[in-house]
């Protein structure tokens, strides 16, 4: 199995290391040629405005949007979740806009308000360590979206068909379970 990781800006190396720990070959994606022959795609955290601009400049936005609409499994963490959202409640931008969720950017405040916690996650037996860095959360979901995790009353993980998103950064912890869950989605969808 080959899993692509968008490698324009942000925490892509950490995702690559997590995949290697799971015995999966990571493919760093920097142009549309790199998108050939991948079974899934990770959109990392970082700065969504910067990544969104680079997606346009490098002619990656439409090819990635098309692949997701054709069913390519995709996992967006933090900024990656913002890229996938159809609606942003506090920003007029839309990037890939494939997932029926409304996301609030920087919902937990500034960089100083970053934190970590352990919470339950649907379909994962143990509690998951969740690291939030200037994180967004999901304010509302469409009818086909399954909520997977909440912190307090806010939605921090969800799935719609081939799309998985988390507000937090599982790649910054030693807990491999959320990535394993994504690999299961790839096996199920492909
Ligand atoms: N605050 C960032 C944004 O709006 C996301 C932060 C992150 O990915 N850790 O794009």
* Share of residues in the chain with pLDDT > 70 (%): 99
Distance, in Å, from the CA atom of 75 to the CA atom of 81, rounded to the nearest integer, reads 8
pLDDT confidence of 43, banded at 50, 70, 90?
very high
**pLDDT tens-digit series, residues 100-146:** 999 999 998 776 678 999 999 999 999 999 999 999 999 999 999 99
pTM given for the model? 0.97
Question: Could you tell me if 144 and 160 are in contact, meaning their C-beta atoms sit under 8 angstroms apart?
Answer: yes
Pocket test for ligand 1, best of 9, 12, 82, 173 (most atoms within 8 A of CB): 82
Ligand 1 atom with the smallest distance to the CA of 106 is 1
Distance, in Å, from the CA atom of 72 to the CA atom of 117, rounded to the nearest integer, reads 30
DSSP-based three-state secondary structure for 159 = strand
Please identify, in words, the CATH class of the domain defined by 2-189. Answer: alpha beta
Question: The tokens of 168 are what?
Answer: 């937090």
- Does the beta carbon of 79 lie inside 6 Å of ligand 1? yes
Q: Which residue has the tokens 């649907």?
A: 122
Domain positions in the chain are 2-189
Pocket test for ligand 1, best of 6, 9, 48 (most atoms within 8 A of CB): 48
């Amino acid at each position: 199995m080959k899993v692509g990781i968008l490698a324009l800006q942000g925490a892509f190396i950490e995702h690559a290391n997590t995949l290697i720990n799971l015995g999966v070959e990571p493919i760093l994606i920097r142009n549309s040629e790199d998108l050939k022959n991948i079974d899934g795609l990770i959109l990392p955290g970082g700065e969504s405005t910067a990544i969104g601009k680079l997606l346009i400049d490098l002619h990656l936005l439409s090819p990635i949007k098309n692949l997701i609409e054709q069913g390519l499994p995709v996992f967006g963490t933090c900024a990656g979740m913002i890229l996938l959202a159809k609606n942003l409640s506090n920003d007029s931008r839309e990037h890939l806009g494939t997932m029926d969720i409304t996301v609030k950017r920087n919902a937990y405040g500034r960089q100083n308000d970053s934190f970590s916690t352990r919470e339950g996650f649907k379909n994962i037996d143990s509690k998951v360590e969740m690291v939030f860095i200037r994180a967004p959360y999901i304010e509302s979901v469409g009818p086909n979206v399954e909520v997977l995790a909440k912190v307090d009353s806010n939605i921090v993980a969800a799935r719609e068909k081939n799309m998985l998103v988390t507000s937090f950064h599982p790649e910054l912890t030693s807990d491999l379970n959320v990535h394993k869950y994504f690999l299961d989605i790839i096996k199920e969808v492909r």
